[in-house]
Structure 1
Amino acid sequence: MKTRILVSLLVVPCALISALAAAPVPVNSQITAATVYTDRAIVTRTGTVELAAGEAEVTFEKLPAALMDQSLQVSGKGTAVATILDVNARTTYVEAAADARVKSLEDQIAAEQKKLRALGDRGVALDQQQTLIGKIENAVAAPPTKDSGATRPGFEEWQKLLTFSDEARTKLATERQALDAQREEVQAKIGALEAQLVALRGQAGSGRSYKTVTVRVAAANAGSLDLTLGYAVMGASWTPSYDARLRGEERAVELSYFGIVRQNTGEDWKGVALTLSTAKPGLGGGAPELGTWVVDVMPSDEAIALSPFSVSGSNDKRYRGMDTAGKRPLRPDPSSTSLGFGNGMALEAAPAAIVAQQAVATVDSSATSASFKIAAPATILSDNATQKVAITTITLAAKLQYQATPRLQETAFLSAYVTNSTDFPLLAGSVNTFLGDSFVATSGLKTVMPSEKFELALGADESIGVKRKVVNRFAEDTGLTGSGRRVTYEFLVTLTNNKKTTERVVFKELLPVSRNEKIVVKLIGPMERDVGTVAAPKEVTREADGKLVWRLDLKPGEKREIALKFSVEHPADVQVTGLE
């Protein structure tokens, strides 16, 4: 009997100890790094947990509901010799806690609505005053009754009434205009605040869902374990932006590369190591496979919508102790335990602290993409607001050339022809152009790969003068009987180089193109002499579509006058379209 009692007493504490050991251990983790792609981000969290010998479940709580389960990756190292057995994610629902930003916006909206109600009350008072003025006017202007004994107002009374009415109505109209302006301003402010509130409430509402990631760990001994959790989440993106500054004396373009980052993932990134990647994981790892295009006879008793393409796929929900192919157990490194779930996106280890004095990113290039590790820690809130971060600044040798179309606009536009001499691609984005430190234009840049040549439009430059005038235009009859008709045009284009350096100027003019054999276009001069088929100068070319292109090298202060003269002949009884 005493033996049974002793065994019972021993069983209860052991069961209690086992239950305590099996209880999940929450990790107090922080976001330390984020790699942003064009359509998603990989977030890295780190945290430390104390483990006892044996098996334990470690949890990362309140992660974004949009977390992609198949992208989970876990690694760890510490004083505890541990093996990560498996990892899984599940969705949990909790009541939304009060968000300070939501509360602040709600308070601001309430204050503005209070102002709007006050303005509305004042508007009602103005309406009442205007009604009262109308009653006073009617009462004074009304004819007196026989019983009242009153007389009609005299001239002075009428004058006083008109003065009172004019002053009162003018004052009311002025106040009403000011009231309307205040109302519009308050309504615009309320609209902006409500838009921000909608964006925040899209992240947090009543019954908000989260993901909880549970990592099952087996520890051979008690000790600490530093865990790193990585996962992909939608709602983040970045786009490139550029500042292009021409260094004319150096014949070079200084191109500053920026990343415009935004995120609405449900988590604020505060002081994280930020990396921008040009990879596009959303496109997959290879070219898509064509399905089968089936053509068949449609059954007469029903209508079936046919599609020429078919897509199939699968999605694993849980992954236990297997590699990415789902075939063999993982073998953790003795010094570093890790478990990864991936779709081809690599989770980078938490980078070392980067000196923030240089606002230039570190570039890692691969065969298909480049990653820019931003120098300074970044803070990007989950409010979808844009944030501009510096990537790098490169200096590219440039071949400068001015282009003009005097027929359409008497302005010379500067272009720089450069080669991407870097090891990374320049993604498509907007370009702010500066001549020196003066902003001149905004243009666009297409994606440029390493060693690829491209053109940068640098905007108008008034230092190259361009003028075009019509010297003559006259029509005359031709032939002995006047059966023909000839229209002769003469233009003069004047180019002036006001710069201190020799500049290449390219300009174009149009020559009419005949679509009928009865219409004949002839060059008269000086093009007929200078652009003959035998000895055409290199600075002028005639293209098939009727364009004449001049390529001139103008010396400092040089002025050139280029004349263009041509005629269009046709039978007098033929109506010709397109003539100016």
Structure 2
Amino acid sequence: MPARCLPALLVLLSAALPCLAAESTTTEGRVSAVTVYQGQALVTRQIELENAGGLTEIVVTGLPAKVQPGSLYAEPGDGVVVRSVRYRTRPVEQDVRAEVRELDQQLQDLQDKLAANARRRALLGERTEYLKQMEGFTTGTANAELKSGVLNAETLKSLTQFVFQERTEIAEQELTSQVEERELRQELELRQRKRNQLTQGSAKTVREAVVFADLGQPGAKQLSLTYIVTDATWSPSYNLRADAEAGRVTVEYNASIQQMSGEDWTDVDMTLSTATPSLVATAPRLDPLAIRLAAPTPEQQAASRDFAKAKSELMQQQRKLATLRNSYAADSPVFDGPMAGERLNDMFADHIQSESAPNAPATPGFAGGRGGGFGGMFAGSSVTADAGLNRISDEMQLLDFNGDLGRGRVAEQQPANSQGISVSYQLESSASLPSRSDRQLIQIASLPLEGRFYRLATPVLTEFVYKEAMLVNSTDMVLLAGPSATFLAGEFVGRGEVPTVAAGESLQVGLGIDTALRVSRELVEKKSRTQGGNRLVTFDYQLSLENFSGEEVDVRLMDRLPKPNSDEIKVTLVEPGKPLSEDQEYLKKQRKDGLLRWDLKVPAGAAGLDQQTIAYTIQLEYDKQLQIVGMPAK
């Protein structure tokens, strides 16, 4: 075929092919649901398209600064087929957030006012220079006229008054201008700090998800876009409102939320969770471990001797790397590229020892050993997350083979987080949370719990007597550990802590000091005698309770016996004074540790000679050549 015929043939072929060019539409969608984890959040945007169909490129714009690109996922609605989802950034002239744009406009207005103020001050300077010239002219003319005898005193007076009047007006305007400039600069600095706080140094960049989809026949279409953002977290907190007369405490379970993701959440369905979202669905691959024999290096011998410390540090690294693996997509640069090893070493900076640290024990390395601490574990190589986990596990197993287990043990199964439990709470109503640095409080639930109210007296610790209530979590909701503010009869009485409480578990709540009660403890008598090679010592104690109120109160009076660590010391409760508590929880948990508890009813007005007392006696028997010393609490 002649070459000159090819262009015409290509034109005919292109005209015969169907047009497959995709339409393009841009939308921000609407943030409809958010699951807040402790450190990040899963955001869902609803995308609604009117009268759309066929192949369409849907650009979801205005994604937040803290979005994780690898977490983008599009869920198609009815009649929609998603072909691809990708992330892109695009520079813009103005910040994409309305709040930031408003601040930018305010900053521009303030700068314009400062420029106008500077121009007015410049004009005042020009007026001052003009007056100086006029003064020189007036003075010279007056001298000449005075010499010639034709001085016009009235004209000179008018000119002088004009000059001084002008100088006074200029001085007042300069002072006003200086005050205005100072106020404008203060306002400018305030707005600038607020903008920096909102943007945290982000550039004028719009972040977008490009969804390529087949929308089918024209009509109303829907799809959702989900993604994970960082800088979002929550923690539990409580308000405890006690009503002693009703025997009830209302537990207001709140979430203290901080979200600085860069986007506002308005009227969204919100869930709070302690789970850890994962971007990786597959388990890590376990590689074979090849071993050989070699003479141990001095560094390896040192690490083997310090088995517990070396094993604990390796376990911390393993746990952190496993968490990182779940938090980053497989194609993340964290685990890819020639600098991956150095990036991982930087991430472990808080958990590994530096090679330059003096006397730092090294881990027995595989393939002949490396020595020099953990700092070089990933150095000089590109590692995947799975390879990194295998590398750490190699070190741990080699430490098991070569380490001295008798010098210390370490628990190998530790909880992934301090909570030790994974729960989620779906808020009953929609919530709104703007992106800002402040912690914002949202109520999860209000739980009225029945309880037993009493007083707790521990005279070995303090003379104050405290009000308490023992509640039972009769709901199906798990209460996570968090700080609490306590109110009794509507009045604030203090702050405390609520532990993690599962459904059906009991909860002890402090309600502040009861100023109508007072307790004391006295060693009344001490007797000592020798029996064989042992010393027997008896101690008579008296505990006293006074009630200055006009009503009878229930009091739990606590004391303790010493708890020996061996049979070399024998401790006997000779006389308890009054029967000890028969509460099963006390007998199960506290009595075996030597804690003593009496459940008393203290009458109204039991003070002075009418105070309630308990006298009890204990006996200690031990080697007469030795003396009793304390031990650290376990």
Q: So what's the TM-score if we normalise by structure 2?
A: 0.54
C-alpha distance 211-537 of structure 1, shift in aligned 2 (>3 A): closer
Letter in 1 for 2:466: F
- Matching residue of 1:87: 84
1:560 aligns with 2:561: no
Post-superposition offset of 1:546: 4.9
1:549 aligns with 2:597: yes
Post-superposition offset of 1:18: 4.4
Query: Aligned partners of 1:210 and 1:197: how far apart in 2?
Result: 19
- Matching residue of 1:500: 551
Post-superposition offset of 1:494: 2.0
- Matching residue of 1:398: 451
Letter in 2 for 1:386: R
Query: Aligned partners of 2:293 and 2:110: how far apart in 1?
Result: 62
Letter in 1 for 2:613: E
- For the residue of structure 1 that corresponds to 2:437, the secondary structure is coil
Query: Aligned partners of 1:431 and 1:556: how far apart in 2?
Result: 31
- Matching residue of 1:325: none
Alpha-carbon contact 2:459-2:521 (below 8 Å) kept: no
Post-superposition offset of 1:286: 10
Query: Percent identity, aligned pairs only?
Result: 24
Judging by fraction of residues, say which structure has more strand.
Answer: 1
Alpha-carbon contact 2:36-2:234 (below 8 Å) kept: yes
1:211 aligns with 2:212: no
Query: Aligned partners of 1:238 and 1:15: how far apart in 2?
Result: 60
Q: Which runs of 5+ in 1 are unaligned?
A: 111-187, 319-366
1:190-339 matches, cutoff 5 A: 197-202=195-200, 204-205=202-203, 208=205, 210-220=207-217, 222-281=218-277, 296-297=292-293, 315=329
- For the residue of structure 2 that corresponds to 1:385, the secondary structure is strand
C-alpha distance 484-36 of structure 1, shift in aligned 2 (>3 A): closer
1:88-487 matches, cutoff 5 A: 88-95=85-92, 97-98=94-95, 99-100=100-101, 103=104, 197-202=195-200, 204-205=202-203, 208=205, 210-220=207-217, 222-281=218-277, 296-297=292-293, 315=329, 369-375=423-429, 377-463=430-516, 465-468=517-520, 470=522, 472=524
- For the residue of structure 2 that corresponds to 1:69, the secondary structure is helix
Range that drifts further, 540-549 or 427-436: 540-549
Post-superposition offset of 1:552: 1.5
- Matching residue of 1:24: 24
Query: Aligned partners of 1:268 and 1:556: how far apart in 2?
Result: 58
Query: Aligned partners of 1:54 and 1:472: how far apart in 2?
Result: 94
Post-superposition offset of 1:455: 2.2
Post-superposition offset of 1:267: 1.0
Post-superposition offset of 1:565: 5.4
Alpha-carbon contact 2:580-2:599 (below 8 Å) kept: no
Post-superposition offset of 1:371: 3.0
Alpha-carbon contact 1:106-1:197 (below 8 Å) kept: no
- Matching residue of 2:63: 63
Q: Give the aligned CA root-mean-square deviation in angstroms.
A: 5.3
Judging by fraction of residues, say which structure has more helix.
Answer: 2
Q: Which has the higher contact order (CA 8 A, sep 6+)?
A: 1
Alpha-carbon contact 1:276-1:374 (below 8 Å) kept: no
- Matching residue of 2:575: 528
Letter in 1 for 2:216: A
CA shift digits 1:132-162 (9 cap, x unpaired): xxxxxxxxxxxxxxxxxxxxxxxxxxxxxxx
CA shift digits 1:223-257 (9 cap, x unpaired): 33244333332222222221111111121111111
Query: Aligned partners of 1:453 and 1:420: how far apart in 2?
Result: 6
Post-superposition offset of 1:284: 8.3
Alpha-carbon contact 1:400-1:416 (below 8 Å) kept: yes
C-alpha distance 425-190 of structure 1, shift in aligned 2 (>3 A): farther
Alpha-carbon contact 1:36-1:276 (below 8 Å) kept: yes
Letter in 2 for 1:83: V
C-alpha distance 550-31 of structure 1, shift in aligned 2 (>3 A): same
Post-superposition offset of 1:87: 3.1
Alpha-carbon contact 1:57-1:216 (below 8 Å) kept: yes
Alpha-carbon contact 2:74-2:223 (below 8 Å) kept: no
Letter in 2 for 1:75: P
- For the residue of structure 2 that corresponds to 1:444, the secondary structure is strand
Range that drifts further, 208-217 or 540-549: 540-549
- Matching residue of 2:139: none
Letter in 2 for 1:371: Y
Query: Aligned partners of 1:537 and 1:456: how far apart in 2?
Result: 20
Query: Aligned partners of 2:257 and 2:53: how far apart in 1?
Result: 44
Post-superposition offset of 1:258: 1.4
CA shift digits 1:189-241 (9 cap, x unpaired): 999988755443336225x4623232312422x33324433333222222222
- Matching residue of 2:364: none
Letter in 1 for 2:202: A
Alpha-carbon contact 2:48-2:220 (below 8 Å) kept: yes
Post-superposition offset of 1:403: 1.7
- For the residue of structure 1 that corresponds to 2:200, the secondary structure is helix
- For the residue of structure 1 that corresponds to 2:70, the secondary structure is strand
Query: Aligned partners of 1:285 and 1:412: how far apart in 2?
Result: 55
CA shift digits 1:493-526 (9 cap, x unpaired): 22427363542x2222245567899988787xxx
Post-superposition offset of 1:529: 7.5
Post-superposition offset of 1:278: 4.8
Select the residue among 559, 563, 566 that pairs with 1:509.
559
Range that drifts further, 188-197 or 52-61: 188-197
Query: Aligned partners of 2:498 and 2:288: how far apart in 1?
Result: 39
Letter in 1 for 2:234: W
Alpha-carbon contact 1:507-1:551 (below 8 Å) kept: yes
- For the residue of structure 1 that corresponds to 2:438, the secondary structure is coil
Q: Which runs of 5+ in 2 are unaligned?
A: 112-185, 304-309, 333-420
Query: Aligned partners of 1:300 and 1:485: how far apart in 2?
Result: 56
CA shift digits 1:56-97 (9 cap, x unpaired): 2222123135235345132335xxxx4323231222231462
Query: Aligned partners of 2:282 and 2:602: how far apart in 1?
Result: 52
C-alpha distance 316-243 of structure 1, shift in aligned 2 (>3 A): same
Letter in 2 for 1:249: E
- Matching residue of 1:337: none
Alpha-carbon contact 2:76-2:224 (below 8 Å) kept: yes
Query: Aligned partners of 1:519 and 1:443: how far apart in 2?
Result: 37
Letter in 2 for 1:45: R
Question: How many correspondences in the alignment?
Answer: 431
Alpha-carbon contact 2:72-2:85 (below 8 Å) kept: no
Query: Aligned partners of 2:567 and 2:82: how far apart in 1?
Result: 85
Q: So what's the TM-score if we normalise by structure 1?
A: 0.59
Query: Aligned partners of 1:444 and 1:286: how far apart in 2?
Result: 39
- For the residue of structure 2 that corresponds to 1:200, the secondary structure is helix
Query: Aligned partners of 1:444 and 1:435: how far apart in 2?
Result: 16
Query: Aligned partners of 1:69 and 1:109: how far apart in 2?
Result: 41
Query: Aligned partners of 1:422 and 1:516: how far apart in 2?
Result: 44
- For the residue of structure 1 that corresponds to 2:463, the secondary structure is strand
- Matching residue of 2:73: 72
- Matching residue of 1:136: none
Query: Aligned partners of 2:32 and 2:242: how far apart in 1?
Result: 38
